[in-house]
């Protein structure tokens, strides 16, 4: 049972590795749309109702401990969105890979600890009787 589980998890890790190779360009961060009000009197952004200037696109992200912000041109927006989706997919795949590897390690530890059992669950009294006065291998001296 554990061998089937570990082999299925190993197959999933190989699928993840293959998918990682196909991701393409990556960008961390968030793309926001902003509208501005200028200081020119009589401008359309001062009208009632106001017609603000924009949209202007901005990419905000933190990389290597530093927060950054970059302006994005309108013609670059779709490419930047694709890079952001690729980055999000990367994060999901890496999390899946780590979870699968943690489960493999858990199953391997279980197999080492309980080599002859299919299930590691034990009852309190596993059929062995303890000698009187002994508890967990210790004897009461006084």
Summarised one tens digit per residue, pLDDT across range 69-112 is 999 999 999 999 999 999 999 999 999 999 999 999 999 998 88
**What is the C-alpha R_g of the chain?**
30
Euclidean distance between CA atoms 77 and 124, whole angstroms: 63
Choose between 123 and 94: higher pLDDT: 94
3-state secondary structure string across 64-100: CCEEEEEEECHHHHHHHHHHHHHHHHHHHHHHHHHHH
Is residue 142 one of the residues assigned to a domain?
A: no
Is residue 105 one of the residues assigned to a domain?
A: yes
Euclidean distance between CA atoms 72 and 121, whole angstroms: 57
Range of the domain at 111: 2-115
Euclidean distance between CA atoms 16 and 7, whole angstroms: 14
Average pLDDT value for residue range 40-64: 91
Average pLDDT value for residue range 6-11: 94
Average pLDDT value for residue range 136-141: 53
Is residue 136 one of the residues assigned to a domain?
A: no
Contact 58, 32 (CB under 8 A): yes
Is residue 23 one of the residues assigned to a domain?
A: yes
Q: Position of tokens 């508890």?
A: 135
Average pLDDT value for residue range 113-140: 57
Is residue 97 one of the residues assigned to a domain?
A: yes
pLDDT recorded at residue 19 = 97
DSSP character at residue 141: -
pLDDT at 138 over 60: no
Is residue 133 one of the residues assigned to a domain?
A: no
pTM comes to: 0.71
Number of folded domains that form the chain? 1
Percentage of the chain surpassing pLDDT 90? 62
pLDDT recorded at residue 98 = 97
pLDDT recorded at residue 142 = 47
Is residue 128 one of the residues assigned to a domain?
A: no
């Amino acid at each position: 049972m554990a061998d089937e589980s570990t082999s299925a998890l190993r197959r999933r890790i190989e699928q993840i590795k293959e998918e990682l190779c196909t991701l393409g360009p990556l960008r961390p961060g968030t793309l926001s749309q902003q509208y501005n009000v200028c200081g020119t009197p009589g401008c359309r952004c001062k009208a009632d109702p106001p017609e603000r200037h924009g949209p202007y696109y901005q990419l905000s992200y933190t990389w290597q401990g530093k927060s950054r912000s970059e302006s994005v041109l309108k013609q670059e927006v779709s490419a930047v969105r694709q890079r952001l989706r690729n980055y999000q997919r990367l994060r999901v795949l890496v999390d899946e890979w780590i979870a699968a590897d943690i489960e493999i390690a858990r199953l391997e530890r279980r197999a080492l600890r309980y080599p002859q059992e299919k299930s590691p669950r034990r009852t309190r009294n596993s059929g062995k009787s303890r000698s009187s006065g002994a508890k967990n291998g210790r004897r009461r001296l006084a």
